[in-house]
């Protein structure tokens, strides 16, 4: 029985491996058993899944300052 029991720390590792499809059959089974009884790890899986899906999208727009642009043009003309 204890062989099938994993901790939350182990379970959260396995969640990452599962998400990247790098989980073996045995680990898949122990993770499923853990998630069946642990609402905190279920939440972790949902929330990190959400974060990953959001990771690519970003709306932050920053601009290069005029000084840096001039510096770059300057260094090109010195070539």
Partner 1 sequence: MGPSLQANEWVDKYGDILYNYTLKRVSDKGLAEDIVQDTFLSAWKSRETYKSDASEKTWLFAICKNKIIDHYRKKSTSNVQYAEIDTTSHFFDEAEHWTREDQPNEWGINYHQPVETKEFYGILDYCKKKLQELQHSVFVMKYMDDLSAEEICKVLNISSSNYWVLIHRAKLQLRKCLELNWINS
Q: Does residue 36 touch partner 1 according to CB under 8 A?
A: no
Comparison of 2 and 75: residue with beta carbon closer to Zn ion: 2
Shortest spacing between CB 12 and partner 1, in angstroms: 6
- Residue position matching structure tokens 């290069």: 64
The entry of Zn ion, partner 1, none near residue 20 (CB within 5 to 8 angstroms by kind) is: partner 1
d(CA 1, CA 3): 5
Cα-Cα-Cα-Cα dihedral of 23, 29, 34, 39, to 10°?
70
Q: Which is nearer to Zn ion, 19 or 70 (CB)?
A: 19
């Amino acid at each position: 029985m204890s062989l099938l029991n994993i901790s939350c720390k182990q379970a959260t590792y396995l969640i990452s491996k599962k998400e990247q499809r790098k989980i073996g059959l045995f680990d898949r089974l122990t993770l499923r058993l853990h998630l069946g009884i642990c609402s905190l790890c279920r939440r972790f899986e949902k929330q990190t899944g959400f974060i990953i899906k959001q990771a690519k999208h970003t709306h932050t727009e920053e601009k290069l300052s005029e000084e840096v642009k001039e510096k770059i043009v300057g260094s090109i003309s010195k070539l």
